[in-house]
A and B are shown apart, each in its own frame.
Chain A
Amino acid sequence: MAVKNKNLKFRIDVSAYRLLGRELITDRITALFELVKNAYDANANKVDVIFHSVNTNTGESKISITDDGLGMTLDDLRNKWMVIGTSDKRRSRVSPPPYNRKVVGKKGVGRFAVDKLGSKLLLKTTQKGSDKLICLETDWSYYAELEEKQLKIDFERNPDQEQFFTDIENRYWVEASDVETQGTSLEISLISECWTETDLKRASTELAKLISPNHASKFPLKIFLQSNEFEVYRKKEIVSLGIQYSTIEASLNFNFKTGKQEILRAENGELTKVLVDKRACGYIKLHIYYFNASAKAKFKKAFPSESIDGIKVYRDGLIATPFAEHAVSQNEQKDLLGIDKRRWSYFFDRVGTRDLLGWVEISDELNPEIVDATNRQNFVDNEAWRELRVFVIEQLRQIEGCIIQRRDTQKEQVDSELKGAGDDLSTIRKELNRLGKLAPEKMRKTLGVLEKKVAKTQASVNKGLKDKINLETEKKQQESLMFSLISLQTFSSTLAHITRTIIGRIKRTSEFFRDRFPDTQYNDVFKRGAHKIFFEMERLSGAVDFMLKYAKSDSSIEPVDVKITLENLFNNIHDYSFKQENIQTELIVKKELILNYNQTAFEDIIENLIDNSVKALVCNRETRRIKCECNIENDKLIILFSDNGCGIKEADKFRIFDVFYTTTADEGGAGMGLFIIKTRMEAFQGSIELVESIFKPSGATFKLSFSFKK
């Protein structure tokens, strides 16, 4: 059958108004945002958001949004406002001079936000120099009616004559206008929901977040909220919230010329800045404020309607759409940056979104790859957005480090003060005793009582100090136990895997023996089988020995034979995985070395390094190598541990020792390894650092230094 070429075109069903408005823009405060954003793009200086009799829904209820922006001509209205997804704003990314605002509406659907607020819209617009005020009326309820009608089953209906979205005509007319005025006003009636005072308060708080307080502009946009019903909102200017009372604050910038980005470093309870290469997310400006419990209380008292609600992303000074989605309660607020998702928050002194206020400043020009997802709920999941999240979390980690350092210093101070108090009391007691001997009879008795009281107080102070120290030691032990358990978990699952494989081999070999022996044709098989059983049993014994060491106490310091320990790890314990992954190992220990250390901790460190190297070697398709070399330098054991795997990116160098920082999540990395090593090393006055790879240009080399002293 011959088929003739014909053409078909897309048509749009009337229900599209719902998809674009009510369903794309999920709540009414977001809808307000969208409309105010349009005003921003039109170079408005001022937007009035007026709520008229909205507390109860009557025929009088109206919401209007009026700006003094550039306005539209009839042509604009026809070719821009009435065109869905109009490309105009995408073509010119900057609003007309002298404002040069980065335009924020890009999808050309913001105007459908109106439908979320009410079903009837009266738009009036005029430009400077024109004496015409153009008025357009859109009645979304008409679209709804039509949709309803089309949904009904009607056998008589003729699909070809049905009206589509674009067939519906909206009435417009022209009124007279002052030549000098300009702007656009949207009057929305037949409102869909009532607005209470709480709703207005929310609208006001949320609108305040629209513009970043840190983005300096010569032409700011002022937003006013008005209501005829609520006294507070007679005419309220919406101002961005002032930051006061924060415990820690930090601002990061970048240097475009040198290609460097600032990041935070915590040192001795202070935050400093370090310059690193630009990250994959592009240049970032960040303002971040941390509030501890008492700071939060002060803040809440000073700004009762504001809340400390985390870090938000602003693009060119204006809040990025995914963050503009308003949530009714803080619990429902989306944690797009993943701040609260981090595990064990109570354990590792995590800060959460409720302790933080922050502004991440990005721009269209410098961070073009960070793009809103079409549903406006999130950003497109790409490398840039992921890297931005990592960047923010990385800074938070430094703040956390700073908090811990400060607390530790404070703790030491308290300890020494307590001890000082105890000493003072002892002096007073001695003094009282001496005075007692000199004083007359009558006074001696009183002095004796006093001395006893002082003695008692001294005892309590000393006991308190001791209890405190005990408690801290206990807490430290718990933490260290936690770390061993985590590595134990990974270890035991590997061990179970190996054990099961070994048991299977032994079982089947002996089963064969049981069922077939004697049988001359299998004599050789029987003999090989016996050898195999013996060999596999030896391997099992080794695994059990290793497992048992974990059961031993964790804190004792004992002589560790470096050579034997390393040989055991390389040639027995990990031999299996090295062979499986085709990894060539080279272990250089010149002579026998005894280190006063903790056996398990030492093994843990090397285990974790081996583990990391195996993961890093995945990408290497050539000869895979791991080299471990021991040397002695000035009373110190230096271990250089290297592999020729994928190496560590320049950008990652500062953060590889952070807990839960991982680049090998796909290979099962949890970001614990290097953190465990670092804490273990530091606990014994050792250190670990990343040095130049001996396998350069690829690979990585870690330099570990252990002290021989006890």
Chain B
Amino acid sequence: MKSQSTIIIIDDQVQDEELLIVIKENYADVIVYNSSTEAIKNLSRHYGHRIIILLDLSFPTNQINGHQVLERIRESNTLIPVIIFSAVNENESGFSDLINNSAFGFLKRDASLKQILDMLQKAEFFLKTSIGGALEEWIKTHSEEELDRPYLVSVDGNNFTLKELLSEVRLQTEVGQSFSKSLSKLTIDLLARGRENLND
């Protein structure tokens, strides 16, 4: 069965027909951006889905480079796994900012199809199991109507709908972080009391 995650490839020179074929065999939706600038413009519209990004580092000099793309993504979203797919030497100084901007993984340009698929699978597993991912999944089970209704009132008196809450979580704001924290505390508490089934 195909995975429901969307794979977004940002690469100016994907000439790999075979790579696209195997990814499409495994994932329902594959989107390719040949220009990094174009990608940045449109990326936010995919944030509502579960997405994994495969990112090249070198782009023509009139476009922004991969490091900057990652930086821009991280400005608004800290949850999406971004895999670097590049021929740039990993020891080069730029690599440190990949760590700072928490790239999910690094694939060398001469990686095999299998290595690429394995890495995508790992990223998907991460998406499904991380608190952020689980939370996102849970929030998405609500109806549109529920999403627009005030759901939570924060300490300083602000109202949040589920939609707003999701955006707070994604942006890792103070409210988003504290909400995630409380949620995991609650989970542990529930589990400790023997209520394994969280849907109860």
Contact = CB atoms under 8 A, between A and B. Distances in A.
A504 B115 CA distance: 11
A417 interface: no
Contact of B112 (A497, A501, A511, A528): A511
B89 A496 contact: yes
Interface stretch (B14-22, B118-126, B127-135, B161-169): B14-22
Interface in A523-547: 525, 528-529, 532
A498 B87 CA distance: 8
Interface string B49-83: 00000000010111000000000000000000000
A529 B17 contact: yes
A508 B18 contact: yes
Given A497-B87, A497-B88, A525 B17 contact: yes
A274 interface: no
A504 B18 contact: no
Interface stretch (B40-48, B103-111, B146-154, B172-180): B103-111
A507 B61 contact: no
A65 to B, nearest CB: 50
A501 B114 CA distance: 17
Contacts of B60: 580-582
B113 interface: yes
Chain B interface helix/strand/loop/mixed? loop
A508 B16 contact: yes
A505 B21 contact: no
Interface string B6-35: 000000110111110110000000000000
A503 interface: yes
A512 B109 contact: no
Given A497-B88, A504-B87, A509 B110 contact: no
Contact of A505 (B15, B89, B116): B15
Given A496-B89, A504-B111, A507-B112, A512 B21 contact: yes
A582 B35 CA distance: 13
A618 interface: yes
Contacts of A507: 110, 112
Contacts of A467: none
Contacts of B58: 497
Contacts of A497: 58, 87-88
Nearest to B157: A1
Nearest to B56: A501
A509 B16 CA distance: 8
Contacts of A515: 113
A500 interface: yes
Nearest to B19: A508
A258 interface: no
Nearest to A498: B87
Contacts of B116: 508
B25 to A, nearest CB: 10
Contacts of B87: 496-498, 500-501, 504
Contacts of B89: 493, 496
Given A496-B89, A508-B18, A525-B18, A618 B62 contact: yes
Nearest to B85: A504
B114 A504 contact: no
Given A525-B17, A529-B17, A512 B113 contact: yes
A667 interface: yes
Contacts of B113: 508, 511-512, 515
A512 B108 contact: no
A617 B42 CA distance: 28
Interface string A86-124: 000000000000000000000000000000000000000
Given A508-B113, A511-B112, A667 B61 contact: yes
A619 to B, nearest CB: 9
Contacts of A528: 17
A525 B112 contact: no
Interface in A577-598: 580-582
A667 B58 CA distance: 13
Contacts of A529: 17-18
A493 B90 CA distance: 12
A621 B110 contact: no
B109 A500 contact: yes
A532 B17 CA distance: 10
B18 to A, nearest CB: 4
A504 B110 CA distance: 3
A643 to B, nearest CB: 14
Contacts of A621: 62
A501 B109 contact: yes
A504 B113 CA distance: 9
A298 B163 CA distance: 80
A508 B87 CA distance: 15
A496 B18 CA distance: 23
B61 A581 contact: yes
Contacts of A501: 13, 87, 109-110
A515 B21 CA distance: 13
A652 B45 CA distance: 47
A511 B112 CA distance: 7
A582 B12 CA distance: 13
A84 to B, nearest CB: 37
Contacts of B109: 500-501, 503-504
B158 to A, nearest CB: 14
Contacts of B22: 512
Contact of B110 (A503, A522, A532): A503
B18 A509 contact: yes
A529 B17 CA distance: 8
Most A CB within 10 A of own CB, among B12, B22, B61, B111: B61
A493 B58 CA distance: 13
A528 B114 CA distance: 21
A511 B19 CA distance: 10
B112 A508 contact: yes
Interface in A278-319: none
B18 A512 contact: yes
A507 B60 CA distance: 25
A691 B100 CA distance: 47
Contacts of A509: 16, 18
B77 to A, nearest CB: 28
Contacts of B12: 580
Given A497-B87, A509-B18, A618 B108 contact: no
Contacts of A582: 60
A618 B17 contact: no
Ordered nearest first, which 10 A-B pairs have the shortest CB separation? A512-B18, A504-B110, A500-B87, A503-B110, A504-B109, A618-B61, A500-B109, A497-B87, A501-B87, A501-B109
7 contacts: A503-B109, A505-B15, A508-B113, A509-B16, A525-B21, A580-B13, A581-B61
Given A496-B87, A504-B108, A580-B60, 20 more contacts: A496-B89, A498-B87, A500-B87, A500-B108, A503-B110, A504-B87, A504-B109, A507-B112, A508-B18, A508-B116, A509-B16, A511-B18, A511-B114, A512-B18, A512-B113, A525-B18, A529-B18, A580-B12, A582-B60, A667-B61
Interface of A: 493, 496-498, 500-501, 503-505, 507-509, 511-512, 515, 522, 525, 528-529, 532, 580-582, 618, 621, 667
